Amino acid sequence: MCKKLIITVFLPLFIVFISNTYSVAQDARAIVKEGFNYMRGKSSFSVVDMTIHRPNWERKMTIEAWTKGLKNSLFRIIAPAKDKDNGTLKRGREMWMYNPKINRVIKLPPSMMSQAWMGSDFSNNDLSKTDTLIDEYIHTITGTQTHDGKKVYLIKSIPKPDAPVVWGMQKLKIREDYVFLAQEFYDEDFKLVKVMTTLQIRMLGGKMFPKIWRMQKAETTDEYTELNYKKLSFKKNLKDSLFTISNLKNPRR
């Protein structure tokens, strides 16, 4: 009993003492990873309104999304009618797009990965490489804040020297219950390029979840893309057969 206590309480403390920075980095990574797991769940189904706002115009579409872990996801547009059934499938790092008007599935070549997804402020890379944030960066906790009475970790993520990522730095704000509050993308001069912020954190699908996600370019205030969750439910497991090209083309639900 006594021995166990020593191991469980003192050993971690000891490790913290001998290698403070290392363990902090590990902690930060754990927080980021847990945060991702929390937000994505094991599997999820959601209906999201996406608003693309530009100085001269605004476009709205409604998207159904299924996700499974960090690897697999399927998006399908259900409104407006003009864009209905356009879909995107992501498996691992690869992405396919389906356009019902030409009845074709296109595997996204490298050349299109950095283009905007559906004309939004999200690039295809933002969708396909979300998990690189966990492994290709070194995370450190730089401070804490409070938000709604909860502790918020400020995490600075610097890419590993040879990581194939374009950002010079990312800054994350993750609440202690793993709700993402903000993700800031910096270039190599550490100048802000774009920011994703979340708003209206409430109970959604059985857990605290931000209803609104907004991706905004740093230089302008009237160019942004907003995701508004209409429906969200976390599932234990979704069938793998959902994330296939045939399902991308012919929705079986």
Q: Per rule CB under 8 A, is residue 58 in the interface with other proteins?
A: no
Q: Per rule CB under 8 A, is residue 114 in the interface with other proteins?
A: yes
Q: How far is the CB of 164 from other proteins (least distance, A)?
A: 4
Q: Report the residue from 164, 202, 241, 253 that binds other proteins according to the rule CB under 8 A.
A: 164
Cβ closest to other proteins, residue 19 vs residue 115:
115
> Binders of other proteins: how many residues, by CB under 8 A?
21
Q: Per rule CB under 8 A, is residue 111 in the interface with other proteins?
A: yes
Cβ closest to other proteins, residue 149 vs residue 161:
161
Cβ closest to other proteins, residue 24 vs residue 165:
165
Which single residue is written with the structure tokens 């913290």? Answer: 16
Q: How far is the CB of 204 from other proteins (least distance, A)?
A: 32
Rounded Cα gap, residues 170 and 160, in angstroms: 12
Q: Per rule CB under 8 A, is residue 166 in the interface with other proteins?
A: yes
Cβ closest to other proteins, residue 46 vs residue 120:
120
Q: How far is the CB of 108 from other proteins (least distance, A)?
A: 9
Q: Per rule CB under 8 A, is residue 187 in the interface with other proteins?
A: yes
Q: How far is the CB of 114 from other proteins (least distance, A)?
A: 4
Which residues are CB-contacts of 30 (< 8 A; sequence separation ≥ 6)? none
Q: How far is the CB of 55 from other proteins (least distance, A)?
A: 19
| Contact stretch for other proteins (CB under 8 A) within 76-84, 106-114, 172-180, 241-249 | 106-114
**CB count in 10 Å sphere of residue 24:** 15
Q: Per rule CB under 8 A, is residue 122 in the interface with other proteins?
A: no
Contact 199, 210 (CB under 8 A): yes
Q: Report the residue from 10, 15, 22, 94 that binds other proteins according to the rule CB under 8 A.
A: 94
The crossing angle, in degrees rounded to 10, of helices 11-18 and 20-40 is 120
| Contact stretch for other proteins (CB under 8 A) within 9-17, 23-31, 162-170, 232-240 | 162-170
Interface ranges with other proteins (CB under 8 A): 93-94, 109-111, 113-115, 159, 162-168, 185-188, 193
